[in-house]
Amino acid sequence: MTLKVNRNIKAQFFDCDALGIVWHGNYVKYFEEARDEFLCLIGYNYQQMAESGYVWPVVDLQIKYVKPIVLGQNFIVEATLLEYENRLKLGFRLYDEDNNLLTKGHCTQVAVKAGNNKLELTTPQFFQNKIKKVMG
């Protein structure tokens, strides 16, 4: 089973450059919105993350721009779980309303123990259990 979430977004004026095209840095924000949706799906939102004693810094981010998103355009951000046992890796795809690929990428985060900043070499078991519970 593949674990994925979708988020519908509309390109807003404040996300665009003077030509009405979404500025490239805002794609990271769209990835984050989908990641937030994913974390809520597994029952590990940002408040629960803070309470868990772990932080999850981004250690790798890749983006491939395929077609521009323009002012007022509706699009879908899809986040798909790619890895979770040693790190959290989510794949992202942005599609227009006709299901044409606009952008793709992925983001990798690692578990770090809050307080001592110790990198965990495996994802904490409680997090793995949350994933397994949702996957069935």
| Separation of CA 53 from chain center | 21
pLDDT for res 136: 83
Tokens 């919105």 belong to 33
pTM of the model: 0.93
For 98-109, the pLDDT digits (tens) are 999 999 999 999
Query: What residues are paired with 6 via a beta bridge?
Result: 78
Provide the mean pLDDT of the chain. Answer: 95
Known catalytic residues?
17
Cβ neighbours of residue 14 closer than 8 Å, sequence gap 6 or more: none
